[in-house]
Amino acid sequence: MAATPATPAADEAYDVIVLGAGPTGENLADRAHAAGLSAVIVESELVGGECSYWACMPSKALLRPVTARSDARRVPGLRDAAEGPLDAPAVLTHRDAVAAHWKDDGQVRWLDSAGIDLVRGHGRLAGPRRVVVDGERTLTARHAVAVCTGSRPVLPPVPGLAEARPWTSRAATSSQAVPGHLVVVGGGVVGVEMATAWRALGAVVTLLVRGDGLLPRMEPFAGHLVAAALTEAGVDLRTGVEVREVRREIPGGPVTVVLDTEDEIVADELLIATGRAPRTADIGLETIGLEPGSWFDVDDSCRVTGVTGGWLYGVGDVNHRALLTHQGKYQARIAGAAIAARARGVPILESDPWGAHAATADTRAVPQVVFSDPEAASVGLTAAAAERAGHRFQVVDQDLGAIAGASLYADGYRGRARMVVDLDREVLLGATFVGPGVGELLHSATVAVAGEVPIERLWHAVPAYPTISEVWLRLLETYRG
Amino acid sequence: MAATPATPAADEAYDVIVLGAGPTGENLADRAHAAGLSAVIVESELVGGECSYWACMPSKALLRPVTARSDARRVPGLRDAAEGPLDAPAVLTHRDAVAAHWKDDGQVRWLDSAGIDLVRGHGRLAGPRRVVVDGERTLTARHAVAVCTGSRPVLPPVPGLAEARPWTSRAATSSQAVPGHLVVVGGGVVGVEMATAWRALGAVVTLLVRGDGLLPRMEPFAGHLVAAALTEAGVDLRTGVEVREVRREIPGGPVTVVLDTEDEIVADELLIATGRAPRTADIGLETIGLEPGSWFDVDDSCRVTGVTGGWLYGVGDVNHRALLTHQGKYQARIAGAAIAARARGVPILESDPWGAHAATADTRAVPQVVFSDPEAASVGLTAAAAERAGHRFQVVDQDLGAIAGASLYADGYRGRARMVVDLDREVLLGATFVGPGVGELLHSATVAVAGEVPIERLWHAVPAYPTISEVWLRLLETYRG
């Protein structure tokens, strides 16, 4: 482990103190250190954070075999071979390895090699630029404190729910056994992905959604296509329902979910995936005049607004700009550069869009891939968001099944693509792709949106034939009429 | 079929005459017609061309099950199920369907619906703006004749080779049976893809290459990775060898391939994939003072240079700019727009880079995906090509196996990525990705290269985590040091 003195002296001073060793905190510390600043990370759990152990990595380890099997089933010559069920123990064992068996030795070695100090324990602010760890050790920051503590799942106030000890994302990604019957509450990314994975691993899955569809932040066809596929896979999807009560008499025993329709579902496990809250309740925000448990209000360099001296940054989930690992890492790169520039006294303009110190992509070009089957991938604004933002825009849709590369990728390919074009500037505001194998296709749209590449120039970006990417050509042809 | 008069009058006049109904000819006629010009296509074989029946489509139908099987083998939970051999009859039957059973009814219907006339027969130029079909029917062009006849495989002058009636790309993509032992000569795209497909379908495959590696037009690591994988798959790859003689005594019987090393290989079939020639030998070029059998010399609008009146266009393979279906279609869109503009008397500047009438991507941003296992995908300049072109550039490499998204895509992922950066303009000159699942990733680089997106802006194009696309982040981090 990096320099953690056995006998701390008085206050230990660093240029930058980072609370939270998830990918956001790691990247921020790395950037600061690379710019010549000393950096320390305070972490009370595992170095590597939610993403490495209870989110992106284990969930994708559970999901990748599902899509690989579906892909194999959709081509000739392999269908019979891929008919059997997934070998759940093999998948879970592999997932354990991907999650590094919930040990952070590798990540600690990386911190060490990167020259970043690590202090294990719970860090709380104790006035400006000061962090106390476990009430014992005091760190002071010459330039900045960056809060990168992320977010946590929230249980809705349903009678009996907390007492039933339901799964949240952590248990859902790390369970060592396949539940016989799993009830999932929530139709967002976590709900959809976990319903997909556990169904394929053999569970009976009931998916309960309050709204009228899945993936409500994406274009509506994303939710429609994913819902159809989940239903075909045997998931019992119920929309427009609310959970009124939950009962679990025996710990570890069956759980009864009572709906507002009076229906009762008895299952082995219950996953709640309905929302998240910032992990800022117990980090001493009250000592600097901020409200504990609130999301941070930050500028485009991720500096918390209204803090005298401008030494506090809120980076990643805590600022509620975009609750995604890659976006937290992006903010960390931007904020790290801003902290370093300010430390050197270099004037920066965090309001300069697309400059080195503004996380402009947070509002213009956030990509997301839902690793369901089919995959759903989007970047930038949906049509609804473009409408809300007051853009003059045009929506162009394309059936992906009509693309030669898609029909070769999978027999009977079903999918859809949409681009949203800014009619005033003739650039893309957003794009959405839903279908098998579209995950890697998304980045082409991310480059186009973030790069503000004019439509006329995209006409010269030729997609290789026959790939699914040829959807670009059809979208552009339709737009140009 | 579209308006093909039963009793032709004297000369039939069209605004645009297209020779060749492959994707290039179809797209050019479509563009011209969409611009209000009358268009006719002359075709002596199947409407849809090489791509639909004997190249892209059937070859990818053969190859997709290979990669789907490999992908399934590389994840836990499916390995056993995917161990068996491919069901060759199922794959070949599906391939037949993808090739529309070598019938062009569907494509003819499309021409009809698009308002494009079709004349079946062999078209030859008979002086300026005039085409005679099968010596019987004369068409005249008010504005342009576009030659889109494509290219054909060439047999090298090896004693006994022509008499042995070897496979070329047509037979290799349309064979109804799996040969017991197939010798492939040529390490380019066709050789690599067909060795991959027929090996996976059960053939013993020997791959003979004159040079020292495969895929010589790509970055060297592409050939290295593909060669290693083919060898692992059981292909007998021999580099640095030449075929000195070929013998096949009985038609359809075994074929003996004699190498310059004195080795003799006895096989069931021999595929020659060593080069292509333009299909311009028998189209009447001599009647307008051009050399039959030559590649066309064209400007950036694909207009043939040195032809009085500027009415002749050479589009697609015939101009030797980039022998790829998608690039031919791109040229067709550009040339079609140029023909239409000139017909309206609108001045155009075909030398305006990235304008509507210049096929600039042909020289700056040609994408290609080799559907081998691993896939090899590239766009723009390789390091060697950048060197030859005199750019001041930097090469940035990244091991794809170190990318989280790649390691989740396939256990033990092996792959590599390279970007070539123009140091004077700080934009990408080219990029190459080799590994499983990179085919759809390529278009992100194509947008970056064709869009000339500055490196500083690419920094804001955030790849979704955990996808293989995250290689972009590592490449950019390395470049920025």
Average pLDDT on B358-377 reads 97
| 3-class DSSP state of B145 | strand
Q: Which candidate, B277, B274, B272, B278, places its Cα nearest to that of B216? A: B274
Instruction: Mark yes or no for CB contact B68/A80 under 8 Å.
Output: no
H or E stretch covering B79? none
pLDDT computed for residue A396 by the predictor: 98
Instruction: Mark yes or no for CB contact B64/A408 under 8 Å.
Output: yes
pLDDT computed for residue A2 by the predictor: 46
Token digits for B369? 């995906």
Contact A29, A18 (CB under 8 A): yes
Q: Which candidate, B300, B306, B288, places its Cα nearest to that of B131? A: B288
**Residue B80, pLDDT above cutoff 90:** no
In chain A, residues with a C-beta closer than 8 Å to the C-beta of B83 are 81
Rg (CA), chain A: 24
Instruction: Mark yes or no for CB contact A60/B470 under 8 Å.
Output: no
Question: Rounded to 5 degrees, what angle do the CA atoms A218, A223, A225 make?
Answer: 125
Q: Band of the pLDDT at B350, cuts 50, 70, 90?
A: low
Query: A281 and chain B: CB distance < 8 Å anywhere?
Result: no
Q: Which residue among A87, A408, A457 sits closest to B451, beta carbon to beta carbon?
A: A457
Q: Band of the pLDDT at B1, cuts 50, 70, 90?
A: very low
Query: B413 and chain A: CB distance < 8 Å anywhere?
Result: no
Chosen CATH of B374-480 out of 3.30.390.30, 3.40.33.10, 2.30.40.10, 1.25.60.10 = 3.30.390.30
Query: B79 and chain A: CB distance < 8 Å anywhere?
Result: yes
Q: How far B390 CA lies from chain A's nearest CA (Å)?
A: 24
Question: Rounded to 5 degrees, what angle do the CA atoms A119, A123, A127 make?
Answer: 125
pLDDT computed for residue B77 by the predictor: 86
Q: How far A72 CA lies from chain B's nearest CA (Å)?
A: 5
In whole angstroms, give the CA distance from residue A57 to residue B241.
46
| Residue A118 main-chain phi, psi, to 5 deg | -125, 130
In whole angstroms, give the CA distance from residue A270 to residue B352.
62
Among the listed ranges A28-37, A56-65, B4-13, B429-438, which one has the minimum average pLDDT value? Answer: B4-13
In whole angstroms, give the CA distance from residue B381 to residue B396.
13
In chain A, residues with a C-beta closer than 8 Å to the C-beta of B94 are 75-77, 411
In chain A, residues with a C-beta closer than 8 Å to the C-beta of B110 are none
Instruction: Mark yes or no for CB contact A68/B71 under 8 Å.
Output: yes
Instruction: Mark yes or no for CB contact B466/A57 under 8 Å.
Output: yes
Q: Which residue among A81, A369, A460 sits closest to B450, beta carbon to beta carbon?
A: A460
Testing the interface with B: which of A59, A96, A403, A460 to mutate, by most B Cβ within 10 A?
Answer: A460
How many Cα atoms are found within 13 Å in the side-chain-facing hemisphere of B335?
Answer: 37
Q: Where in chain B is the domain with CATH 3.50.50.60?
A: 12-48+104-152+277-361, 162-274
Three-state secondary structure of B422-455 = ECCCCEEEEEEEEECCCHHHHHHHHHHHHCCCCH
What topology does CATH give the domain B12-48+104-152+277-361?
A: FAD/NAD(P)-binding domain (3.50.50)
**Residue B11, pLDDT above cutoff 90:** no
What topology does CATH give the domain B162-274?
A: FAD/NAD(P)-binding domain (3.50.50)
Q: How far A58 CA lies from chain B's nearest CA (Å)?
A: 9
Q: Which residue among B78, B447, B456 sits closest to A444, beta carbon to beta carbon?
A: B447
Q: Band of the pLDDT at B8, cuts 50, 70, 90?
A: very low
Query: A167 and chain B: CB distance < 8 Å anywhere?
Result: no
In whole angstroms, give the CA distance from residue B373 to residue B353.
36
What residue in A sits closest to B436 (Cα-Cα)?
A440
Who's near A326: CB < 8 A, 6+ residues apart?
Answer: A367, B462, B463, B464, B465, B470
In whole angstroms, give the CA distance from residue B408 to residue B61.
26
Query: B97 and chain A: CB distance < 8 Å anywhere?
Result: no
Q: Band of the pLDDT at B363, cuts 50, 70, 90?
A: very high
| Residue B260 main-chain phi, psi, to 5 deg | -70, -10
Q: Where in chain B is the domain with CATH 3.30.390.30?
A: 374-480
pLDDT computed for residue B10 by the predictor: 64
Q: Which residue among A72, A325, A444 sits closest to B444, beta carbon to beta carbon?
A: A444
Q: Which residue among A91, A444, A457 sits closest to B443, beta carbon to beta carbon?
A: A444
Q: Which A positions 289-328 lie with beta carbon below 8 A of chain B?
A: 324-327
Q: How far B173 CA lies from chain A's nearest CA (Å)?
A: 15
Instruction: Mark yes or no for CB contact A446/B463 under 8 Å.
Output: yes
Kindly state the percentage of chain B with pLDDT values over 90.
Answer: 93
| Residue A71 main-chain phi, psi, to 5 deg | -60, -40
Q: Where are the alpha helices (DSSP H) in B302-441?
A: 325-343, 361-364, 383-388, 404-409
pLDDT computed for residue A481 by the predictor: 81
Testing the interface with A: which of B442, B447, B449 to mutate, by most A Cβ within 10 A?
Answer: B447
Average pLDDT on B77-102 reads 88
Q: Which residue among B98, B404, B447 sits closest to A448, beta carbon to beta carbon?
A: B447
Testing the interface with A: which of B24, B70, B75 to mutate, by most A Cβ within 10 A?
Answer: B75
Testing the interface with B: which of A323, A443, A475 to mutate, by most B Cβ within 10 A?
Answer: A443
What residue in B sits closest to A360 (Cα-Cα)?
B460
Q: How far B350 CA lies from chain A's nearest CA (Å)?
A: 14
Contact B370, B63 (CB under 8 A): no
What residue in A sits closest to B77 (Cα-Cα)?
A87
In chain A, residues with a C-beta closer than 8 Å to the C-beta of B68 are 71-72, 74-75, 78
pLDDT per residue, tens digit, chain A (481 aa), is 444 544 545 689 999 999 999 999 999 999 999 999 999 999 999 999 999 999 999 999 999 999 999 999 999 988 666 676 799 999 999 999 999 999 999 999 999 999 999 999 999 999 999 999 999 999 999 999 999 999 999 999 999 999 999 999 999 999 999 999 999 999 999 999 999 999 999 999 999 999 999 999 999 999 999 999 999 999 999 999 999 999 999 998 999 999 999 999 999 999 999 999 999 999 999 999 999 999 999 999 999 999 999 999 999 999 999 999 999 999 999 999 999 999 999 888 767 899 999 999 999 999 999 999 999 999 999 999 999 999 999 999 999 999 999 999 999 999 999 999 999 999 999 999 999 999 999 999 999 999 999 999 999 999 999 999 999 999 999 998 8
H or E stretch covering B191? helix B189-200
Query: B468 and chain A: CB distance < 8 Å anywhere?
Result: yes
What pairing do the DSSP bridges indicate for beta strands A416-422 and A393-399?
antiparallel
What residue in B sits closest to A457 (Cα-Cα)?
B451
**Residue B64, pLDDT above cutoff 50:** yes
Burial call B441-452: b when 16+ CB within 10 Å, e when fewer: bbbbbbbbbbbb
| 3-class DSSP state of A224 | helix
pLDDT computed for residue A8 by the predictor: 46
Query: A335 and chain B: CB distance < 8 Å anywhere?
Result: no
Token digits for B263? 């080795």
Contact B226, B372 (CB under 8 A): yes
What residue in B sits closest to A357 (Cα-Cα)?
B460
In whole angstroms, give the CA distance from residue A282 to residue A43.
13
User: Which of left, alpha, beta for A364 (phi over 0: left; psi -120 to 50: alpha)?
Assistant: alpha
What residue in B sits closest to A379 (Cα-Cα)?
B464
H or E stretch covering B88? helix B88-98
Token digits for A104? 């952070």
In this predicted model, what pLDDT tens digit does every residue of B163-209 receive, in sequence order? 999 999 999 999 999 999 999 999 999 999 999 999 999 999 999 99
Helices and strands, counts by H and E, chain B: 15, 21
How many Cα atoms are found within 13 Å in the side-chain-facing hemisphere of B294?
Answer: 11
